[in-house]
Amino acid sequence: MSDVDAAGFDAERESKLLGVLAASRRLFRQLSVEAVASVAVDEARQIFGLELVAVRLLDDGALAPISYTAGVVDVFGGDPPAYPRDDSVVWTAFETGETQVVADTTQIDALRGLPVGSGVVVPLGDQGVFTAFSRERAGFSETDVRLLELLALAVAEALWRVKRDEQLVAAETRLELAVDGTGTGIWEWDLVENELVVHRSAATVFGYDPPSDKTYLTVTEHLEDLLERIHPADVNPVVERIANALETGTVGGGIEFRAWTGQEWRWLLARGQLEHGSDGDPVVMRGVVSDITDLQTVETELRRTSARLEAILEAVTDVVIIYDADGTIRFVSESVTSVLGYEPEELIGTKGGRYIHPDDVSSVLDVVEKARASKTRERIRYRMLAADGTWRFVESIGNGEPIAVGGGYATSTRDVTQQVRHERALETLQTRTSDLMQAETVEDAAHEAVAIASEAFGLPLTAVWRYDADSDTLIPIAETPQVRSVIGPAPVFDRSRGVVWDAFDSGTVQVHPNLRSNPDVYDPETAIETEVIAPLGDFGVLITAATETNTFSERDKALVEILATTVTAAIQNTRRKRELTEARRLLERSNEDLQQFAYIASHDLKEPLRTVSSYLSLLESSYDIEAALGSDAVEFVSYATEAAERMQEMVTALLQYSRVETHANVDSTVELDEALELAMLNLTVRIEEAGASVTTDDLPTVVGDLRLLVQLFQNLLDNAIKYNDSETPTVSISATIDDGRCEVTVADNGVGIEESMRERAFDVFERLDGRVGDGGTGIGLTLCRRIVERHGGDIRLDDAAGGGTAVKFSLPLAEVSS
């Protein structure tokens, strides 16, 4: 049935969707481009079962392979080449930003002659492409393509994040290089520990060898040692200045002095400030020191450094904020205006903490503390106050190592409100997917869908329509309360509403950014301006609308698409469930029918049969049939009698057959030896009459129903003797044990069953003999199969050594094997 296929397919799509959602989270945790590419390839391979997957990124004008599966290496016979710019589909995808699906890859020059049949190329934003190929032609379903696009969206996002981090590192490195060139360095002197931390560019200034492997040099220095390297003529002014600073808490302007570098005296200019502990005592003095021996040069360099710094900061689209150690904002990049709405001057000099959401302050402080303690870069997400009074989700990366020029801590901050909404939406979707999948009815699924759209995705104007084939209309079955308040009850769509049908008929999502500009497609009275229409398979459509033009981002569209995919799966799930319930109901009814049948077989069917037999025997016992009716009549009566006997056996066998299900307890422990012994006892006369020989091995103990297993052996022994024209019918019974199960073989030297007939032998009332024996009910093997299957085993026919039949059946072993 096609429904079963459809159901199977949907379960696959459902699991792929969940796989992609999980992959997105894994991708976002990666810290390098290579790691992102590798995870992307790995996930695509696992989720879609693809062996030919690669991530190519733009590098030096070519799309260079960054990560790829082993299958790709096989195809190329080595590492795949970078693709220089050409007009192939790979570059087309990259340049147009649109997924390219190629049903036949021979049109791609670079792949001509390679053993691939079809492919999909999905752009990764402006960074590269994601390629997936299959050895078969047309190897990608539309669903796979859509899910690959979803995965690519996450890959592009993850790559973007990593690159942003790298950009910040690069900016810091450039700052440091700039500082290096000036002979200017920052220093920090811990007054409590007598520990001096100097930037390596300033090491020589203080007379130390600059470390080659570290940015900062940390030495233990007492003031006296430090003073020893200061020119005797300059010691007093320096000591005075320090004493004054410690006393007043302010350092004041810069101080010039000569210091011994180990080789020569150099003129230095030091600026600095004091930091006080919680008890108000100064604990740290830090500042900038410049070698001003050649003052002219230094001033020039400083100006240039400053200009370069500004340039770097402005190049970064994120908001760069430099905080003092106490959190005072010292510098804010221009980009703050577009991101948070402030003018940089409004913020400079204010405390950074006042823009952090009260609930986030402590976690931000924790991270700042951690970054500064470990001198590492840390990332944190929190809410920041925008100029319009709203709270925006932002993500900041801060360096715990003070910035080289003038101290302070640089942070890069970005508005992630959209992204947070997107991620939360995905998370919510994932948690609520299970609710959705639990939906019992289509209506429940539809209501849950609009609730998710409204509550989780922030898409309040959402409704679901069901396709009604009889009227060829789309009928609303769920809508948010907001839909009702904006447009009243959701309308029934007939065929005149083209935009909706386009989506439903084509099975693709339709976005209409400005409905009012096209009065043909929509009622001009409505308040709706924008719509995303997502088809729900053959079930109906889900529409999300807005009252402003062009309000839906790519992300919103992607979310609606994911939601639609999930809802479709859920709806098909409810159909599957309903089918299952129906099947169960039918099964229950068929069980009842079976019991009813048992009664019919035992009574209603037997009743007339008994009458026939009774009267035939009355005739035979009371009349001389031959004398009264002639010799033919004797034969006729005996045919009728035989037929009645056979029918009675069949009725009895059918009754046994139906009782396998209704009257069995297959959980007992049964010694097969005992079952066989009882079966042979029941067949004593038959075995003796046929002169048969039955041999048996030790048989194991199994889990089952003794009565049924006796019946099983009895039927098999009976068959083995009945369908046997040997002088001495021989039956041997043996068993092998494997992995908690045993396989029993009942082999005979009888007439055998041709291989092509073996499956038919198990059909009800199928008799294959026709030449040997006294016939049978034709239900014996069917009954055997039913008994074995009732025990969870299987039964088959095989050749016996010597030409007869071997019946092999398996049964579950009991815990303690005999």
Partner 1 sequence: MTPPVQERPTAMRADSTGDSRPFVVLHVEDNPADVELVKQVVGRSDRNLSVTAVSCASDALAYLRGDLDLGTADRPDFVLLDLNLPDSDGYELLEQIRSMPASRSLPVIVLSGSESQTDIQRAYELHANAYLIKPMHYPELQSVLERTFDFWAHAAALPNRHGV
**Which residues sit at the interface with partner 1, rule CB under 8 A?**
599, 602-603, 606-607, 609-611, 613-615, 617-618, 621-622, 648
Alpha-carbon distance of 538 to 628, in angstroms, equals 76
Please name every residue paired with 17 in a beta bridge, in sequence order, or none if there are none.
Answer: none
CB contact set of 323 (below 8 Å; sequence gap of 6+): 329, 330, 352, 408, 409, 411
The H-or-E segment that residue 118 falls in is: strand 118-124
3-state helix, strand, coil in the chain (%, to 5): 50, 25, 30
The angle subtended at Cα 697 by Cα 696 and Cα 703, nearest 5°, is 100
Shortest Å distance, C-beta 657 to partner 1: 16
Q: Taking the CB of residue 358, how many other CB atoms lie within 10 A of it?
A: 8
CA dihedral 438, 442, 448, 453 (to 10 degrees): 130
Shortest Å distance, C-beta 752 to partner 1: 35
Shortest Å distance, C-beta 709 to partner 1: 21
Of the pair 82, 633, the CB lying nearest partner 1 is at 633
Shortest Å distance, C-beta 646 to partner 1: 13
Q: Are 88 and 67 in contact (CB under 8 A)?
A: no
Classified as helix, coil or strand, 152 is helix
Nearest Cα residue to 200 out of 185, 189, 219: 185
Of the pair 484, 610, the CB lying nearest partner 1 is at 610
Shortest Å distance, C-beta 617 to partner 1: 4
Of the pair 82, 651, the CB lying nearest partner 1 is at 651
Shortest Å distance, C-beta 623 to partner 1: 12
Alpha-carbon distance of 500 to 442, in angstroms, equals 20
Structure tokens at 393: 């989700």
Query: Which amino acid is it at 483?
Result: V
Of the pair 348, 651, the CB lying nearest partner 1 is at 651
Alpha-carbon distance of 252 to 265, in angstroms, equals 25
Nearest Cα residue to 56 out of 45, 43, 41, 70: 41
Shortest Å distance, C-beta 685 to partner 1: 19
Shortest Å distance, C-beta 625 to partner 1: 14
Nearest Cα residue to 563 out of 541, 538, 531, 530: 541
Of the pair 261, 613, the CB lying nearest partner 1 is at 613
Shortest Å distance, C-beta 613 to partner 1: 5
Of the pair 106, 611, the CB lying nearest partner 1 is at 611
CB contact set of 251 (below 8 Å; sequence gap of 6+): 241, 245, 271, 272, 273, 274, 285, 287
Sheet holding 530-536, edge to edge: 473-479, 461-468, 540-546, 530-536, 510-512
Of the pair 195, 661, the CB lying nearest partner 1 is at 661
Shortest Å distance, C-beta 640 to partner 1: 13
Shortest Å distance, C-beta 683 to partner 1: 21
Of the pair 599, 636, the CB lying nearest partner 1 is at 599
Of the pair 549, 617, the CB lying nearest partner 1 is at 617
Of the pair 205, 601, the CB lying nearest partner 1 is at 601
Of the pair 521, 609, the CB lying nearest partner 1 is at 609
Nearest Cα residue to 35 out of 198, 148, 155: 155
Tell me, what DSSP letter sits at residue 760?
A: G
Of the pair 297, 617, the CB lying nearest partner 1 is at 617
CA dihedral 31, 32, 37, 38 (to 10 degrees): -80
Shortest Å distance, C-beta 622 to partner 1: 8
Of the pair 622, 756, the CB lying nearest partner 1 is at 622
Shortest Å distance, C-beta 627 to partner 1: 19
Alpha-carbon distance of 526 to 557, in angstroms, equals 22
Alpha-carbon distance of 148 to 180, in angstroms, equals 47
Structure tokens at 732: 């041997």
Shortest Å distance, C-beta 648 to partner 1: 7
Shortest Å distance, C-beta 618 to partner 1: 4
Of the pair 508, 602, the CB lying nearest partner 1 is at 602
- The residue written with tokens 């950074």 in the block is 352
Nearest Cα residue to 719 out of 785, 663, 658: 785
Alpha-carbon distance of 224 to 353, in angstroms, equals 39
Nearest Cα residue to 742 out of 684, 685, 795: 795
Alpha-carbon distance of 537 to 509, in angstroms, equals 11
Q: Which residues of 429-440 are buried (b: 16+ CB within 10 A; e: fewer)?
A: bbebbeebbebe
For 91, how many CA atoms within 13 A lie in the half-sphere containing its CB? Answer: 13
Of the pair 473, 648, the CB lying nearest partner 1 is at 648
The angle subtended at Cα 516 by Cα 510 and Cα 517, nearest 5°, is 90
Shortest Å distance, C-beta 609 to partner 1: 8
Shortest Å distance, C-beta 610 to partner 1: 5
Nearest Cα residue to 549 out of 509, 584, 517: 517
Please name every residue paired with 433 in a beta bridge, in sequence order, or none if there are none.
Answer: none
Of the pair 613, 696, the CB lying nearest partner 1 is at 613
Residues belonging to the chain: 818
Shortest Å distance, C-beta 615 to partner 1: 7
Of the pair 470, 639, the CB lying nearest partner 1 is at 639
Q: At what angle do helices 417-438 and 442-451 cross, to 10 degrees?
A: 160
Radius of gyration of the chain (CA): 43
Alpha-carbon distance of 143 to 17, in angstroms, equals 10
Of the pair 518, 611, the CB lying nearest partner 1 is at 611
